[in-house]
Amino acid sequence: MTTPPVLSVQDLRVEIAGQPVVDGVTFDIAAGETLAVVGESGCGKSMASLGIIRLLPDVARQTTGQVMLEGARIDTLPERRMNGLRGARIGMIFQEPVASLDPLMPVGKQIAEALALDGAVPTAEVQPRMLEMLERVGIDRPELRARQYPFELSGGMCQRIMIAMTMIRRPVLLIADEPTTALDVTIQKQILDLMAKMRHDTGAAVMLITHDMGVVAESADRVAVMYAGRVVETGPVAQVFARPRHPYTTMLLRTIPRLDGTRKVPLPAIPGAVPDIRSWPKGCRFNTRCPLATEQCRSAVPLLEPSGSPGHASACWNRDRIETELAP
């Protein structure tokens, strides 16, 4: 019998005031795998994650689709049962670690409370396991740090605390929403390496939300590229980077800085901006910014279809023109 993916999202649609902000999103994540969901601000990637864990803002609602966790549907669960899954089976790391922590409680107590939440761990074991987890995430002098408050710690250390708090209950799914955005480059790499170690140690599936293709290259096994609420390309990272099959992906890859000194011109920018949800373009939603756009692109929606290599798919009417006319 085939083991189901840890997370399976099928045709997820989230609307605000009748307008789709997440429009037919579909993907799977297997145990021990990292899927990066990448795109510009406003593309719907964070809203998709909030839809998955049922923490949508009051103005938003899921209108179609289903979300499965380890083969069981969770988008229709009663709120009490869903609340039990959050933290225990599904962990979430946000991009502002200091804002995510309670400013009035020592960080060690916050981790201990997360561990003791469902009463499964004997009281005598909570403190030792909390200190052990602090060591595992690279916190020096854990006994001292456990007594400190978030404002006494750096942003990178607070993110380590968030990872400790999330992973101490060994969730099967970790959703990390821009976990390194507010950190400097050196600390970013340390946090990404720590997340990779935690994934390896626990076998968790990871949904990594980012706008940075460099982070995708460093940390993900597969990538789903989102634009204006839709997934426009998905596949193994190596294949997507070597042979992108959507113009938007190609143009995103152009924005990655090169370290070999071969680029003699400034980094190119993608012209325009992600359109407002109140006025999505007809057809392919990238057509207003795409140099390959045709009348077909402006009138008909391309489906996400296989694009050569196994597991690689894109939604583009002109995918066969990309290599010759729009090389990254």
**Do residues 25 and 12 lie in contact, with contact meaning Cβ atoms separated by under 8 Å?**
yes
Write down the residue that tokens 């359109």 correspond to.
275
Residue type, 300: A
What average pLDDT does range 113-127 have in this prediction? Answer: 84
Block residue for tokens 């959507």: 246
Average pLDDT over the chain reads 91
pLDDT digits (tens, 9 = 90+) for 23-55: 999 999 999 999 999 999 889 999 999 999 999
List the single range of 45-49, 125-129, 136-140, 259-263 with lowest mean pLDDT: 259-263
Contacts of 256 (CB under 8 A, 6+ apart): 213, 214, 217
Q: What is the mean pLDDT of residues 154-159?
A: 91
Provide the residue count of the chain.
328
Mean of the pLDDT values across residues 115-141? Answer: 88
Q: Is the pLDDT of residue 259 over 60?
A: no
d(CA 310, CA 171) in angstroms, rounded, equals 29
Neighbouring-strand partners of residue 14: 22, 62
Q: What percentage of the chain exceeds 70 in pLDDT?
A: 96
Q: How much is the pLDDT for 263?
A: 54
The predicted structure's pLDDT at residue 300: 97
